[in-house]
């Protein structure tokens, strides 16, 4: 048998699928990728897997009429024929919209789906539900909700998070110092939303290391910069970056080194922020001596770093993680302030940009060009909730959520519909979600796999993986457009989300509005041609669709000149104002002050997080749990693949713990522990580390939640999903972002026999 190479792509990189006998036997990196990642190795394991859903199913209890009030997760599933499943789903949409209105259909469906820009499950679902009269949606994201809500008030846009960012060549050529709150973790470069033709993050970190750029890793974890980067490690207590930044600012101001000219010409509110930093407004000087006991960093060390930042061209970056915590707006606002004080904003290679270490492609030089992308269409209800307020919404129909100056009334949710996301992965306090989930009458899920989400649904529709369909992969952070060709037939009875939504739309009488009379092939051409028109307007000659498809990819030229964020504003703020009320950087925002939120006042301030090592609560739960992005998978995706499985300890998700904390509990690498707090408990496998701040433990997200007794809130997760432990609350009334990183726990040895991990097997099913 010969292997056929089929070009394809994914959020974790472009590759050729090597196909034999209708199966993906192996993969090899895309030939153009000089810095390929490792996650593609898991692809064969997930396409052909015991965890695939072989056909449509319905929850046995739902069939018996157990709707609102039933705790999902414990019932067996009953197989369904496809046409019966489609009738049931369309019937539920129709019933709910007629009896309760479209707002009672929750179709936010947050999640990364897959890389293909056409078969993007969430977008397909939004188009279908939009055509059927609408739904309640979600705004912002779990990645940087607080930051993206705040930044338009402060600098007039989200470019400093979503790009284009000051690029790496500009940093390497011009900065002498790069201060990284949350580090530059190598693992995060494994991933790029929409896929990437090259692991540029690995490339640029290598070039930065070779250039001698001095890098400071401000993080509780040493591994947040790779050893070969030669970074200096400044271990900071989790949740205290704002205090550290205020103290750096204090040291710079009290030594008279702030950039007064820039603060006067390009910023508003400096007087008030300065008074706060110096303690003139509240009697507390935010000095290095003040910050030392909060942050755990010596006052002298803070003062030395401040002196270097003032004396050298400095790039400041903060990982997206540091705003996924209680009052997460503050460290981001203070990052901007610190960059304004050091005066680097708009100058080559300096200033600030968020997330250089958060995802592949930030700071990758790329012309500003459109990518092929399916439009999600209009949602006729126009209703939404901030993304992470899902449990609040389910618990409080008719309740009010304050968000960024608005008051949003929660709908009375009857039907939950999810395709392409996994709330039982991404949401905080999963026991609370499980209880609130019971309020829905019907829960519909499209999934390729028996994830924890699929196991907590009523009607489960099996979706294809990208390897079973044709698509186009592309990202605004990458210079490639990639053909994703169908490599193998649909597995079992799986169908594309597009086909499933099309049939439901048909049953609801709105197929033409959903498909716009195009099939897969016509859509791919249409999306390509639309983007191509933009490339042509930018003066680029590109191949037509057929030539692109035959070649398998398209590569844009790199831009001629390095990109510097805020360059034009810096050069002439009157001619090129920011899109803020003042046209300047708002160190004080009258707009935000006008909202009257005590949890996000007029300028950046230090708040003690509700859960941190300085809290009263730390007496009972003395360890701060960080739950970072996994090196071995994408969120919950690929958890059943070889790369992720090889990293588990005794089959559980690893937890990093420092030597002293392990010794105090009699723990060694390889032990299994119970990690717990008042919200829940999970098992984890111990890895003792020298590179973690005492008092801090860390686990990756993404192990599929596996309750010892499915369907019972409070059950032990035997596999190690940290969201059984995290707190579910908004960052503030401004951003309402998730606060996963503010979480206290205790851990103890697990002495009882080890319960099996069953979540990577198919669940119990009954006969039809
Ligand atoms: N504790 C803690 N929690 C966190 C975070 C954290 O740092 N700490 N980070 C948060 C962040 S930043 C994010 S972005 C979220 C990520 O949360 P999600 O985006 O929800 O996570 P994924 O695992 O990528 O979920 C995608 C789901 O879509 C399914 N899927 C993939 N392809 C297809 C398809 O073609 N069709 C269909 N129908 N389904 C498909 C996958 O099987 C998977 O279940 O997690 C958040 N949660
Ligand atoms: N391999 C892989 N890469 C990914 C993803 C994945 O699932 N797998 N997910 C992608 C997604 S959706 C996103 S949003 C990005 C997220 O990108 P980030 O949010 O930047 O990633 P994290 O790993 O959550 O956090 C980075 C580091 O911040 C540190 N940190 C946590 N809390 C604090 C704190 O209070 N202060 C300081 N100074 N440091 C702290 C942690 O040690 C952590 O390792 O990653 C992307 N990249
Ligand atoms: Mo994210």
pLDDT tens digits, one per residue of 233-260: 999 999 999 999 999 999 999 999 999 9
Q: Are residues 570 and 697 in the same domain?
A: no
Ligand 1 binding pocket includes 687 (Cβ within 6 Å): no
Report CA(649)–ligand 2 centroid distance (Å): 21
**Ligand 3 center to 228 CA (angstroms):** 26
Q: For residue 303, tell me if it sits in a domain.
A: yes
**Do 228 and 314 sit in the same domain of this protein?**
yes
pLDDT value of residue 392: 98
The rounded distance, in Å, linking the Cα atoms of 69 and 439 is 6
Query: Given the CA of residue 701, which atom of ligand 2 is nearest to it?
Result: 7
Q: For ligand 1, atom 47, name the residue with the nearest CA.
A: 426
Distance from Cα 97 to the centre of ligand 3, integer Å: 32
Nearest alpha carbon to residue 146 among 740, 738, 759, 756: 738
Domain count, the chain: 3
- Ligand 1 contact, 51 CB (< 6 A): no
Q: What is the Rg, in whole angstroms, of the alpha carbon atoms belonging to the chain?
A: 25
Kindly give the number of the ligand 2 atom that is closest to the alpha carbon of 39: 1
Q: Is 138 in the pocket of ligand 1 (CB under 6 A)?
A: no
**Distance from the CA of 747 to the center of ligand 1, in angstroms?**
27
Helix (H) or strand (E) holding 418: strand 415-419
- Nearest ligand, CA of residue 419? 1
The alpha carbon of 768 and the centre of ligand 3 are apart by a number of angstroms equal to 39
Q: How far is the CA of 143 from the centre of ligand 3 (A)?
A: 4
For residues 689 and 740, membership in a common domain is answered with: yes
Q: Which ligand is nearest to the CA of 428?
A: 1
Confirm or reject: Cβ of 111 under 6 Å from ligand 1. Answer: yes
Mutate to test the pocket of ligand 2, among 113, 235, 358, 627 (most ligand atoms within 8 A of CB): 358
Mean of per-residue pLDDT scores for the chain: 97
**CB 495 less than 6 A from any atom of ligand 1:** no
Query: Based on the domain organization, do 660 and 703 belong to the same domain?
Result: yes
Nearest CA to ligand 1 atom 18: 111
pLDDT at 1 over 70: no
Q: How far is the CA of 617 from the centre of ligand 3 (A)?
A: 28
Q: What CA–CA distances, in Å, run from 19 to 37, 417, 470, 531?
A: 20, 34, 15, 30
| Residue 350's CATH number | 3.40.228.10
Contact 477, 196 (CB under 8 A): yes
List, for residues 154-209, the tens digit of each pLDDT value: 999 999 999 999 999 999 999 999 999 999 999 999 999 999 999 999 999 999 99
pTM strictly above 0.95: yes
Q: Please give the Cα distance from 232 to 309 (Å, whole number).
A: 14
586 and 621 together in one domain? no
Predicted pLDDT at 766: 87
> How far apart, in Å, are the Cα atoms of 211 and each of 186, 230, 318, 349, 747?
18, 11, 21, 13, 42
Give pLDDT, residue 2: 84
pLDDT at residue 571 is higher than 80: yes
Structure tokens at 348: 């080559």
Pocket test for ligand 1, best of 53, 56, 113, 238 (most atoms within 8 A of CB): 113
Phi-psi region of 500 (alpha: psi -120 to 50; beta: other; left: phi over 0): alpha
> Do 338 and 237 reside in the same domain of the chain?
yes
pLDDT in tens, 644-690: 999 999 999 999 999 999 999 999 999 999 999 999 999 999 999 99
What Cα–Cα distance (Å) separates residue 397 from each residue in 37, 405, 412, 533, 665?
45, 20, 5, 45, 44
Residue identifier of the C-alpha nearest atom 17 of ligand 1: 426
257 and 351 in a single domain? The answer is: yes
| Structural domain span for residue 11 | 4-47
Q: How remote is the CA of residue 569 from the centroid of ligand 3, in Å?
A: 29
What residues line ligand 2, using a CB cutoff of 6 Å? 143, 181-183, 185, 187-188, 190-191, 218-221, 224, 236, 238-239, 241, 319-322, 325, 357-359, 626, 628-631, 634-635, 741
Give the pair of three-digit tokens for residue 183.
Answer: 């580090």
Q: Is 649 helix (H, G, I), strand (E, B) or coil?
A: strand
Rounded distance between C-alpha atoms, residue 313 and residue 234, angstroms: 19
Q: Let me know whether 591 and 640 are in one domain.
A: no
Cβ–ligand 1 distance for 117 under 6 Å, the answer no
> By alpha-carbon position, which residue is closest to atom 27 of ligand 2?
182
Judgement on whether residues 691 and 621 belong to the same structural domain of the protein = yes
Tell how far the Cα of 656 is from the centroid of ligand 2, in angstroms: 15
**Ligand of minimum distance to the alpha carbon of 451:** 1
Does residue 295 surpass a pLDDT of 90?
yes
Cβ 674 vs Cβ 683: under 8 Å: yes
Domain-located, residue 96: no
Asked whether the predicted pLDDT for residue 768 surpasses 70, the reply is no
| Structural domain contains residue 72 | no
Report, as an integer, the average pLDDT of 682-700: 98
Nearest ligand atom owner, CA of 117: 1
DSSP class per residue in 471-502: EEEE-TT-SEEEEE---SPPPTT-B-HHHHHH
Verify whether ligand 1 is closer than 6 Å to residue 42 (CB atom). Answer: no
627 within a domain of the structure (yes/no)? yes
Best residue for ligand 1 mutational test, from 10, 637, 760 (most atoms within 8 Å of Cβ): 637
Would you say residue 95 lies in a domain? no
Residue environment code for 749-762, b if the CB has 16+ CB neighbours within 10 A, otherwise e? ebeeeeeebbbbeb
Q: Is the CB of residue 62 less than 8 Å from the CB of residue 459?
A: yes
Q: Is the CB of 704 under 6 A from ligand 1?
A: no
Say whether both 319 and 214 belong to one domain. yes
Pocket test for ligand 1, best of 46, 195, 323, 420 (most atoms within 8 A of CB): 420
Using the CB atoms, write b or e for 581-612: b if 16+ within 10 Å: ebbbbbbbbebbeebebebbbbbbbbbebbbb
Q: Is residue 391 part of a domain?
A: no
Same domain, residue pair 702 and 636: yes
Q: Is 427 in the pocket of ligand 1 (CB under 6 A)?
A: no
Provide the CATH number for the domain around residue 647. 2.40.40.20
* 334 and 198 in a common domain: yes
Integer Cα distance of 577 and 585 in angstroms: 9
Q: Specify if 405 maps to a domain.
A: no
Q: Point out the residues that are catalytic.
A: 110, 112
How far is Cα 273 from Cα 235, in angstroms, rounded to an integer? Answer: 26
Angstrom distance (rounded) from CA 478 to CA 556: 9
Distance CA 768, CA 764 (A): 13
Give the percent of the chain with pLDDT over 70: 100
CA of 116 to the centre of ligand 1 (A): 15
Average pLDDT over residues 212-229: 98
pLDDT, tens digit, for every residue of 724-737? 999 999 999 999 99
Ligand 1 atom nearest the C-alpha of 634 is 24
Q: In this predicted model, what pLDDT tens digit does every residue of 74-121 receive, in sequence order?
A: 999 999 999 999 999 999 999 999 999 999 999 999 999 999 999 999
Boundary residue ending a domain (12, 28, 47): 47
Position 295 in a domain: yes
CA distance 376 to 382: 13
Which of 625, 701, 725, 743, when mutated, tests ligand 1's pocket best, judged by the most ligand atoms within 8 Å of its CB?
701
């Amino acid at each position: 048998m010969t292997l056929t190479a089929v070009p394809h792509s994914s959020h974790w990189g472009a590759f050729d699928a090597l196909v034999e006998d209708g199966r993906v036997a192996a993969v090899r990196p895309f030939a153009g990728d000089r810095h390929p990642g490792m996650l593609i190795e898991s692809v064969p394991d997930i396409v052909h897997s015991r965890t695939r859903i072989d056909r449509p199913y319905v929850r046995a209890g739902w069939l018996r009429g157990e709707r609102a009030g039933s705790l999902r997760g414990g019932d067996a599933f009953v197989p369904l024929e496809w046409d019966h499943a489609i009738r049931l789903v369309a019937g539920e949409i129709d019933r709910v919209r007629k009896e309760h209105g479209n707002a009672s259909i929750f179709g936010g469906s947050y999640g990364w789906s897959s890389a293909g820009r056409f078969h993007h499950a969430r977008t397909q679902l939004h188009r279908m539900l939009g055509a059927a009269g609408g739904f309640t949606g979600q705004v912002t994201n779990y990645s940087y909700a607080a930051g993206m809500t705040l930044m338009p008030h402060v600098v007039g846009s989200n470019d400093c998070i979503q790009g284009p960012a000051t690029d790496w060549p500009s940093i390497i050529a011009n900065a002498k110092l790069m201060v990284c709150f949350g580090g530059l973790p190598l693992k995060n470069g494994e991933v790029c939303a929409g896929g990437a033709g090259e692991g540029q993050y690995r490339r640029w970190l290598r070039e930065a290391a070779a250039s001698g750029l001095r890098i400071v890793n401000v993080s509780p974890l040493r591994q947040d910069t790779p050893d070969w980067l030669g970074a200096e490690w400044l271990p900071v207590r989790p949740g205290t970056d704002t205090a550290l930044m205020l103290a750096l600012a204090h040291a710079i101001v009290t030594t008279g080194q702030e950039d007064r000219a820039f603060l006067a010409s390009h910023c508003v509110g400096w007087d008030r922020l300065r008074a706060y930093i110096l303690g003139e407004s509240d009697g507390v000087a935010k000095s290095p001596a003040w910050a030392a006991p909060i942050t755990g960093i010596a006052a002298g060390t803070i003062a030395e770093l401040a002196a270097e930042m003032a004396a050298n061209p400095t790039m400041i970056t903060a990982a997206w993680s540091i705003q996924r915590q209680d009052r997460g707006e503050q460290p981001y606002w203070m990052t901007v302030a610190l960059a304004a004080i050091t005066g680097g904003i708009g100058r080559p290679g300096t200033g600030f940009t968020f997330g250089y270490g958060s995802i592949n492609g930030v700071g990758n030089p790329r012309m500003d060009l459109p990518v092929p992308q399916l439009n999600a269409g209009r949602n006729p209800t126009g209703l939404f909730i901030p993304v992470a307020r899902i449990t609040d919404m389910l618990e409080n129909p008719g309740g009010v959520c304050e968000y960024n100056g608005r008051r949003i009334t929660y709908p009375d949710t009857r039907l939950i519909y999810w395709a392409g996301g996994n709330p039982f992965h991404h949401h905080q306090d999963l026991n609370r979600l499980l209880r609130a989930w019971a309020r829905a009458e019907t829960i519909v899920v499209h999934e390729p796999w028996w994830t924890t989400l699929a196991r907590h649904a009523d009607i489960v529709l099996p979706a294809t993986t990208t390897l079973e369909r044709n698509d186009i992969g592309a990202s605004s952070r990458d210079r490639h457009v990639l053909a994703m060709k169908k490599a193998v037939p649909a597995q079992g009875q799986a169908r594309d989300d597009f086909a499933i939504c099309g049939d439901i739309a048909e049953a609801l009488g709105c197929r033409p509005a959903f498909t716009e009379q195009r099939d897969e092939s016509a859509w791919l051409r249409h999306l390509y041609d639309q983007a191509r028109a933009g490339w042509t307007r930018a003066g680029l000659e590109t191949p037509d669709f057929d030539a692109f498809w035959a070649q398998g990819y398209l590569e844009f030229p790199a831009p001629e000149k390095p990109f510097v964020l805020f360059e034009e504003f810096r050069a002439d703020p009157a001619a090129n104002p920011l899109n803020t009320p003042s046209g300047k950087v708002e160190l004080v925002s009258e707009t935000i002050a006008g909202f009257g939120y005590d949890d996000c006042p007029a300028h950046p301030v230090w708040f003690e997080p509700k859960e941190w090592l300085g809290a009263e609560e730390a007496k009972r739960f003395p360890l701060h749990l960080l739950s970072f992005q996994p090196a071995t998978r994408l969120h919950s995706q690929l958890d059943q693949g070889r790369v992720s499985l090889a990293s588990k300890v005794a089959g559980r998700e690893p937890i990093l713990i420092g030597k002293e904390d392990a010794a105090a509990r009699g723990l060694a690498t390889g032990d299994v522990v119970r990690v717990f707090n008042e919200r829940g408990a999970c098992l984890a496998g111990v890895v003792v580390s020298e590179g973690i701040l005492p008092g801090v433990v860390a686990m990756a997200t993404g192990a599929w939640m596996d309750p010892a007794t499915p369907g019972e809130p409070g059950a032990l997760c035997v596999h190690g999903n940290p969201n059984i432990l995290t707190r579910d609350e908004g960052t503030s009334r401004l951003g309402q972002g998730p606060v996963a990183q503010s979480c206290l726990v205790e851990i103890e040895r697990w002495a009882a026999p080890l319960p099996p991990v069953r979540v990577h097997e198919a669940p119990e099913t009954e006969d039809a």
